[in-house]
Each structure stands twice: as structure tokens, then as C-alpha cells.
Amino acid sequence: MTVEEKQLETTRRPEPGDAPAVIAPGQTFGAVTAQISSVPLLRRTIPPLWYIAVAIGLALVLIFLVTVSYLFGTGVGILGLQIPVAWGYPITTFVWWIGIGHAGTLISAFLLLLNQPWRSSINRFAEAMTIFAVICAGMFPILHLGRPWVAYWILPYPNTMTIQPQFRSPLVWDVFAVSTYFTVSLLFWYLGMIPDLATLRDQSKNRFSYAFYGILSWGWRGASRHWRLHETASLLLAGLATPLVLSVHTVVSFDFTIAILPGWHSTIFPPYFVAGAIYSGFAMVLVLMLPIRAAFGLDNLITERHINNCAKLMLTTGLILAYTYAIEPFTAWYSGDQFEIALVHNRAFGPHAWTYWGVILCNVLIPQLLWIRRFRVRTKPLFAISVVILYGMWLERYMIIITSLHRDFLPSAWANFIATVWDNFLVFGSIGVFIVLFALFVRFLPMISMYEVRELLPFSRPGGGSEK
Amino acid sequence: MTRLYGVVAEFDDPQPLVDAARLLHERGFRDVEAYTPYPVRQLDEYIPARRNLPLLVLVAGILGTLTAWIMQFYIAVIDYPTNIGGRPLNSWPSFIVIMFELTILFASVAAFFGMLGLCGFPLPHHPMFNTRGFENASNNRFFLCVEARDPLFDAEKVADLLSQMDPVEVKEVEEE
């Protein structure tokens, strides 16, 4: 009996009464390597869905490029932006994208610290999602500037104008928070990928991919002393990323709360924003995970347990969000402040009332279906619910920004907000950028962490059992 | 003539690898290294790693905090003071956010590059890559190498010792 046969034998004996396995039975070390590395290394394993996604993504990128060219050439007047609604679609979409990134860090960092082994087969592409979402987010504050070519003035650097940024402004904090978040996420993602890139180097069939993955893997050879350092560095980065991810959307919410506008000037905003961010992030994880799992046949590595757990976490964060929706009108009423009360009334019954009720429907009512197990484990309804939540979360940010800005204290300063077609092109264009980046990641990098999946196999620990 | 780098045993299961590492450790070998497709935690006892990365990260984090505080204090109080509603120039509570962010940033960069540095990377060429079948060290095989620089090293004796540990193969690896 060869070792492979012995390993198969071990995995085929699920113990009675066990929870659904994290990894389906019937895997060996070699099978895991072959299955995951075949996607970046062999062209023929790419399913048609990938080409369709790239085609749609590139079409949207084209729209994005045309819109951005027109925007930079003509000015922000082509969008619905005006005074008083100077934030409009770009900042709505910025907050939406940055929030989506949060679930990736949650899966990779929180769950690593909490020692949850099921994260192993989904953390890699959840982290990739974070990075691409932050890239999409980062474009929007620049796109909504009247003079985008001087965006770098917000950075503190010695300059001949002898001016400096104002550190008492949350907008400056935001620049530091988002750029730190991007850098740390990128380092964490890349650090985890180095051993797998070495596997791709060792499995590569031609000189080009050997050189490509060889350079990216820095000469990793799996030495046990290096594994020890790698593990320490991963844990340290997870420990650093955990408070960071909470701080990022907190700082984004400071952009709102530190202003005195009714509806923004509220202490509940930081937890409200963080919960909403994680909520939309899990929806995006599922929207990406379910088609990829089906198209690449990853059912054995991404099992029902992963999908169920993601859906449960989505439901949990959704309930936190529902609580804040309920507490907002209460705070307004309890404060007795006429502007706050007027705002709540305006949100629910004013010209943008459809967004308020849309948010309640998409983020509170429809997700209650997740209490039923069938909706958590069947992929099609879960996919549909996730798309609804993503739309609902975008709508929520729209509601927060538009309704507070368009009617503040002085009725003579009120104005309505009407988005233009270019606003919509920008949003959908950024989705195209995201799709293309993600498709490239799936095609050229190991989308599931091979070494962490090996650790999950029941014979990975010397003497039997799994390392994790 | 090329110099001998070490004697390598190839295993197809983690158990004999750990047994062999334990045996070598008991016999007093110290320049021993295991190459595995995933971290095998039981090896840590017999092949101790350097543990100074957390200290490096702590120092970098403190440096980040100080950098952010000095930068903001210098800009807001000395270089470009602005009076906003009569608030104090040194409004330190509003400096906390960037101090926090730069702490995380510096510490993370130190964790990443510190790990690469302590591993000796980038190192595209290493004698171990001369080992036949070493491409499977990142797939499904486990390698244990006793390096020639170990004072107790004797190629034949080490090869004999390793052969008793149920390896797939024992082979000599050269520097070039």
C-alpha cells in the first residue's frame, strides 16, 4: 500500500456524529496541490465562466475609462454633485467599497486569532477581495475632487508652498487609515501566499512561469525554521490587522460624525459603520465564492460548512445593523432636537424615502430568511440574498449621505440631489475594475491556500490527526 | 571538485521525519533542517528557530507612534500653525488616530520584511535545490538535511542513521 492510498484510507472514515467536515474526505497532499495549482499553471482548466466574467469586466472598465476621461476633462459638473450635496455618488461608493473589504480581513485575521480552521480554504480570496475593494474605494475620493491633479496636497511633505495638512480634520485621518489598511492587507496577503507561490514554482511546467513564481516566492524552500518565522509573522500581522480593520471604518465614520449635520453627528456611527462594513463584506465573499466554487469544482475544499458559517456571520452582523437602524430614530426622538427629528422624518417620508424603505427591505427584512437553514446552504437563494444585501448596503450609504446633506439647518440652503448617467457609469465601471482584478487573481495566483489546506488533512500531524 | 552540503533523507509521512529529527537532536546534531510542505509544529522542539521577530515588530511599532506624534506636533505647532476656532495648536487628542495608524503601519512593514530578512531572503539559489526530487518539498514530501558544517558530521554515519528511520531515499547533496 502506497502512502497516497494510506492517506485516502484515513480520510474516508468520517466519525459518526461529527459536524460536517471542513474538507471533504478523499484528499491527499498531492491531490490538493494538483487541484489548486492546476488553475494558474494549466490553461485548459479555465472554465467558460471566467472568460465571460473578464469580457463583462473589461466592457465595464471601458465605460469607466470613458467616464473618468470625460470627468477629468470637463469637471465634476457632469456628476450630480452640487452644493449642498457635494459628496453624492463618489463618496457613497467609496464607503461601500471600503466596507466590502472588511470581511476579508475579518476572515483572515480575526478567525486566525480565534483559531477557526474553516477559514483556511476561503481566506486567500477573501483577502484578495479586500485588496481589490480598497483599490476601487481609493479612486473615488480623488474622482470627486474639483482639482484631482492636486490630490497629493493632503499628504504632509516639505513643499515650496510652505503649506501643510490640517491634522485636526478627519479627512486627513482617513487618508492615513485607508492607505495603512491597503498596505497592511497587501503585506498580509502576500506573506501568506509565499509558500504557495513556491509550490507553483516547483510545479511549473515552463521557464516563464518558473521564473515568474520563482521571483515572487523569494526562494522559499519550506525550512522548518522559516515556517516558524512565517507563522510568527502571520500571527503578528493578524494581531495588528484586527484593531486596524475596526479603526478603518471607524475613521471613515468620523468623516461624518465630526460634522455637525443632523443624522451624522452621532456616537453610534463607528460601530454602525463597522457592522455594516462586515455585513456587506460577507455578502461580497459569498457573491464571489459561490460562482467560483461551482465553476472550478471546488466543492471538496469549500464545503457546506464554509457557506453556512459565512451566512450565519452575515445574519449576525445584519442583526447588529438592524439594531442601529432602530436606535437612530430613538436617539433623535430622545434628544428632543428638532433638526434631528426633522431629519428622521425626512428620511422616512421625504423625497428620498424610497432609499430608506429600500434599506429596511434589503438589509433587515429579506436577510431574515437566513434563519432558515435551506437559505444558508442552497447556493442559488444565498447568492440572491447576498446580491440584495450588497445593493441594500450601497443604498444605505446613499441614504446617509444624500438625506443629511440635501436638507440641513437652513431651508433656503436646501436642494434636491439628482444623479446623472455618469454617476452610474462610475459605480458600474468600478465594479468592472474589481471583476477584472479578481479574475486575474483567480487565473494567475493560488486562490486557495494550499499549505493551510494540507494542515487540515487528518494525517498532517505526525502520529495522526490534523495539525489544525 | 564540489563540496558536500549535507546528507538528506526524504520521507513521505511526517511521523518518521519527526522521529528522525528527535534522534538527531538526541545524538547532539544541531545543524539540522527539515523541509516540509506545511508547518509541522512538533519539529520546533528539535529544530529551534530564532525568536527575535516580535521584539523587532514592537520596536518598529513604537517608532511609528513617535514618528506620527513628532510629525503632527511639528507641523501643527511649529511649521504651519493654524488657528481654528481658537482651539489649542497642540490638540493632541486629534493626533491619536494617525499615531495609531502609523504604529500599525510601521509594525506590519517590520513584521513582513523582518521575517524575510531573518529567513535570509531573497535567496533564489540554495544548495538544497540541488536535491533530486526537492520540488516535492512544497507538495507531498518531507526532507531532513544534516548539514556538513555540523561538528559531528560524518557522511557515512549520518546516512546510516537516517536509513534506519524509514525514509524513501537517503542522498548526498553538493554545494554546486
Q: Could you tell me the three cell numbers for A465?
A: 490527526
Q: Answer whether A313 touches B (CB < 8 Å).
A: no
Q: Is the pLDDT of residue A168 over 80?
A: yes
Distance between CA atoms of residues B37 and B15, nearest Å: 14
Could B53 and A236 be called an inter-chain contact, meaning their C-beta atoms sit closer than 8 Å?
yes
Domain positions in chain A are 27-456
Closest partner CB to A222 (pick from B109, B118, B138): B138
Predicted TM-score of the model (pTM): 0.91
Residue-level pLDDT at B70: 95
pLDDT given at position A6: 64
- Residues B70-123 have pLDDT tens digits of 999 999 999 999 888 888 999 899 999 999 999 999 999 999 999 999 988 888
At B163, the pLDDT band (50, 70, 90 cuts) reads: confident
Question: Poorest-confidence range of A25-39, A321-335, A365-379, B90-104?
Answer: A25-39
A113 vs A287, more confident: A287
- Report the CATH architecture of A27-456: Up-down Bundle (1.20)
Residue of chain A with shortest Cα separation from B95: A167
pLDDT in tens, A229-244: 999 999 999 999 999 9
**What crossing angle do the helices spanning A123-143 and A269-296 adopt, rounded to 10°?**
120
Long-range contacts at A438-441 (CB < 8 A, ≥ 24 apart):
A438/A125, A438/A128, A438/A129, A438/A132, A438/A288, A439/A50, A439/A53, A439/A54, A439/A57, A441/A125, A441/A128, A441/A132
pLDDT at A10: 60
| Residue in A30, A156, A163 closest to B71 by CB | A156
**Is the pLDDT assigned to residue B171 strictly greater than 60?**
yes
Which pLDDT value is given to residue B138?
A: 87
Q: What is the ipTM of this complex?
A: 0.92
Q: What pLDDT is attached to residue B16? A: 86
**What interhelical angle do A338-349 and A304-335 show, nearest 10?**
130
- A168 with B41: Cβ contact below 8 A: no
Instruction: Give the pLDDT of residue A349.
Output: 93
Nearest neighbour of B35 by CB, restricted to A172, A188, A221: A221
Q: Which span out of A77-81, A108-112, B46-50 was modeled with the highest average pLDDT?
A: A77-81
- B133 touching chain A per CB within 8 A: no
Which ranges in B7-154 belong to alpha helices (H)? 14-26, 53-73, 96-119
Domain residue ranges of chain B, discontinuous segments joined by +: 4-49+126-174, 53-119
Residue A389 has pLDDT above 80, yes or no: yes
B4-49+126-174 classified as CATH 3.40.50? no
Q: Do B76 and A227 touch (CB under 8 A)?
A: no
Mean pLDDT of A459-466: 75
* Chain A interface disruption, residue of B36, B140, B169, most A CBs within 10 A: B140
Least confident segment among A152-161, A329-338, A410-419, B166-175: B166-175
Contact B13 A3 (CB under 8 A): yes
Query: How big is the A-B interface in CB pairs under 8 Å?
Result: 208
- Measure B89 CA to nearest chain A CA, in Å: 9
Decide if A108 contacts A126 (C-beta within 8 A).
Answer: yes
Which pLDDT score is estimated for A8? 65
Query: For residue range B10-44, what is the model confidence (pLDDT) as tens digits?
Result: 888 888 888 888 888 888 888 888 999 988 888 88
Give the model's pLDDT for residue A468. Answer: 65
pLDDT > 70? residue A5: no
Binned at pLDDT 50, 70 and 90, residue A120 comes out as: confident
Query: Is the sign of the CA dihedral A392, A273, A288, A69 positive or negative?
Result: positive
Cβ neighbours around B78 below 10 Å, total = 9
pLDDT digits (tens, 9 = 90+) for A282-315: 999 999 999 998 888 888 888 888 888 889 999 9
Q: What is the mean pLDDT of chain B?
A: 88
* Mean pLDDT of the region A186-205: 91
Interval A232-275: pLDDT, tens: 999 999 999 999 999 999 999 999 998 888 889 888 999 999 99
Residues B173 and B5: beta-carbon distance below 8 Å: yes
Tens digit of pLDDT for each residue in A400-414? 999 989 988 888 988
Higher pLDDT, A1 or B47: B47
pLDDT for position A99:
92
